[in-house]
Structures are given as C-alpha cells and as structure tokens.
Amino acid sequence: MCIQDLLNINPYSLKSEAKYNLLNKELLSLTKYHYENSPLYKNMLDALEIDIKDLRNYTDIPFLPVRLFKELDLVSVSPENIVKTMTSSGTTGQKVSRIYLDKETSSNQTKVLTSIVSNYLGMKRVPMLIIDSSDILKNRTMFSARGAGILGFSMFGSIREYLCDSEMKINLGTLENFLIKHKDQKIFIFGFTFMIWQHFYNELKNVEYRPDLSNAILIHGGGWKKIQSESVDSEQFKKSLNEVCGIKPENIHDYYGMVEQTGSIYMECENGYLHTSIYSDIIIRRSIDFSIADLGEEGLIEVVSILPKSYPGHVLLTEDQGIVFGEDNCKCGRLGKYFKITGRIKNAEIRGCSDSYAAKF
C-alpha cells in the first residue's frame, strides 16, 4: 500500500499489527533507497557495519540524530530536482537544519498534513485566524519552520486573516470585524504556543473586550519551554484562553512535529494525548543504551515517517523526552500509539518555533 492509497482511509484507522506491517515494508524500502542515493547516508551505515539486506524490522534501522541536519547537507536526489529548502527554527547564532525537498516529497507532505488535520477540522475549509504576522512568509523558496507551519495550515482556511502587525501586536479591531463577518460560523485559529500566550492571551486579559470564540478550533505548536517556565501547563493554557475568549478547552489541540519530518505531525486529541497516524510512529528509547522502553516509561523520542524520500530523514532520534501511554485504546477512539512530551534532554538547543521565538523575545 503506497502513500496515495493511504490517503483514501482514515489516518487513525489501522490497528497495531496492520500498521506495523505497513510501516515495516515502507521504512525498509526507504532505507534501501537512501542507502543507494545518498552517499553520506551510505557512508554512515557502512561505518556502522550495517548490512541493509539483514534488516528485518524498522525498529532496527539505525536512527540519525536530528541535530545531524545542522551539520551536513543530507540529500537523496539530484540538485536539479530540489524545489524547496526548509530550515528549522533557532535562536541567534544557532545553526539551522536544512531540509531539501523534491516535488514528490513536498506534495506528499501537503497531502498527509491535510489527511491528519482534516480528522480534527473536517473536510470543509473555514474562515481562519492566524496569530502571527504575514511578514514571516516573505521568502517563499527558503521556508523557515515557522513560515512552513503557517503556510501548511493555511490551506484549511477559506479566507485567512493575520492578527499581528510587523511588531507582533494584535489588532483587536481586525479581530472584532472578522468575528462580526463570520458570526455563528466555525472558525479555525492557528498559531505557535508562546505567541498565542504572549500576544493574544496577555493582550486580551488586560482589556475589556471579550471576543466570542466558542465556535473556534485552535491548533498550536512549537514548544512549551518558555511558558512552562512561567508555570503554565497545557491545562492552564486551555483554561486561560477559555476565560478571555470562550474557546472550549476540548477544541484546543497542541501538535508535535519538526521540519525534518514535515507533514507527519502528531496531533493532540480531546483527552490531551498526542497520536501517531498511519504515516508515522514513535519509539521511546532508554538513554543509557538506546533499548526500547516499556509503556509508561520515559525516554528519548525516536520518530519514524514514510514521507522523507528526497533526504534520509525517515528514522530520527530527537532531543525530546516522552512517554507512550498505550496503543489502539485511547478513549478518543483514534487507533495508534498515544503519548506525551515530558521535556528536552539536558543542554539540548532550543529549536521549536515557539521556544525559539520566545528566546529572542
């Protein structure tokens, strides 16, 4: 079953055995492809004395540290086939990851993102508010992770309204007019966690105006480090937004994703868990020996995705820690593993869009 076939089914509809067989076939095939088409990837596997013909399970495929994309130009297609270069977020002075996309990989990322997010928003495009500035999209060929996130989610908006000016100040008049025009309609709001807290929530809590966003669905991401340092967790975040604009806590969804595996994001369900889809998986590894952790055990997060074809980013070890709580039995009804992020490893660089912006802010 190829990606095009998967797009015709619910992204949370395969039980563990069927999903494992699907991912195993695709990821082993991708490993062979990258070995044959990326000299750097081949050199790394050869140095590890890996015989790809002996690999039987995707859990045994050597992972690449996600930071490696800051140091090397990892690519599996000819330069003339690269149509887009994406860069990760980072603070001033940090190196950024550079991800090279061909037409096929870029197209599949878009289609898979649509499949996953439509499970939460529905198939119909709706009026969209973006808690950011349109200035971030000035260079359309060299996307930052922040710009790519905005652009990727923008396809779900029938019309799009940016709420921030170039100084990241919220225009409350724009918000009020938007809500008058789209009264009683479902509204989609997108933004990065710290920006929503700093520029949207903090602005609204200090004014009398209380917009009615009870029909809205908010999707946000990019890291929690800065606002958690202010003793704000997910529950407080949702409660606070509900108080200033009426948005329902169950309609606020965090997501976990990275520029190195754009498209195959992990969305938060109504019960507060992030979910793997049929396009991806996560493996929790013990930091002491990289063995696979048990359910409920905290460890390093390895992410796998069947989307990266133009670059060898299909099996990556992140610098995040997390816990898998179960598989195929979340109360929300979605199949697949469900998990939570518990933090970053010590001395890891700030890299999420939200956290990188917060550090600069």
Using one digit for the tens of pLDDT, what is the confidence trace for 158-189? 999 999 988 889 999 999 999 999 999 999 99
Mean pLDDT, residues 83-94: 74
The C-alpha atoms of residue 15 and residue 206 are separated, in whole angstroms, by 48
- Residues 56 and 79 both lie in one domain: yes
Which of 255, 272, 306 terminates a domain? The answer is: 255
CA angle 112, 44, 54 (to 5 degrees): 80
User: Of 192, 221, 255, at which residue does a domain stop?
Assistant: 255
Cα separation, 131 vs 165, in Å, equals: 10
Co-location of 118 and 244 in the same domain: yes
Q: Do 124 and 79 share a structural domain?
A: no
Residue 44 lies in a domain: yes
Neighbours of 161 (CB within 10 A): 18
172 and 215 in a common domain = yes
Q: Does residue 278 share a domain with residue 151?
A: no
Is position 98 within any domain?
A: no
CB 101 within 8 A of CB 134: no
pLDDT at 17: 97
Say yes or no: 224 and 305 in one domain. Answer: no
Is 353 contained in some domain? yes
How confident is the prediction for the chain on average, in pLDDT? 90
Q: For residue 93, what pLDDT is reported?
A: 60
Structural domain contains residue 100: no
Q: What is the pLDDT of residues 222-268, one digit of tens each?
A: 877 777 777 788 899 999 999 999 999 999 999 999 999 989 999 99
Which domain-ending residue is among 255, 272, 289?
255
- pLDDT (mean) for 41-52: 96
The residue ranges of DSSP E strands in the chain, in sequence order, are 64-65, 82-87, 98-102, 126-131, 142-144, 157-162, 187-192, 216-221, 252-256, 266-268, 274-275, 280-285, 299-305, 315-327, 337-344
Give CA separation, 178 vs 155, 160, 221, 249, 297, in Å: 18, 10, 23, 22, 45
Q: What pLDDT score was predicted for residue 141?
A: 47
Q: Are residues 124 and 230 in the same domain?
A: yes
Q: Are residues 11 and 144 in the same domain?
A: no
Domain count, the chain: 2
CB-based contact 275:282 (threshold 8 Å): no
Q: Are residues 176 and 193 in the same domain?
A: yes
Does position 356 have pLDDT exceeding 70, yes or no? no
- The Cα 216–Cα 247 span in angstroms is 6
pLDDT at residue 134 tops 90? no
* DSSP 8-state class, residue 62: P
Joined tokens for residue 73: 């130009």
Burial 113-138 (b: 16+ CB within 10 A, else e): bbbbbebbbeeeebbbbbbbbeebbe
327 domain-assigned: yes
Distance separating alpha carbons of residues 323 and 295, to the nearest angstrom: 7
CA distance 141 to 169: 27
115 and 249 co-located in one domain? yes
In a domain, 101, yes or no: no
Any bridge partners for residue 220, and if so which? 191, 254
Residues 160 and 241 in one domain: yes
Q: Is residue 103 part of a domain?
A: no
Q: At what angle do helices 353-360 and 145-154 cross, to 10 degrees?
A: 130
The CATH code of the domain that includes 182 is 3.40.50
Question: Which domain does 52 fall in, by range?
Answer: 3-93+261-357
pLDDT tens digits for 203-214?
999 999 999 999
Phi first, then psi, for residue 124 (nearest 5°) are: -90, 135
DSSP type of residue 291 = P
Domain at 42, CATH number: 3.40.50.12780
Shared-domain flag, residues 251 and 285:
no
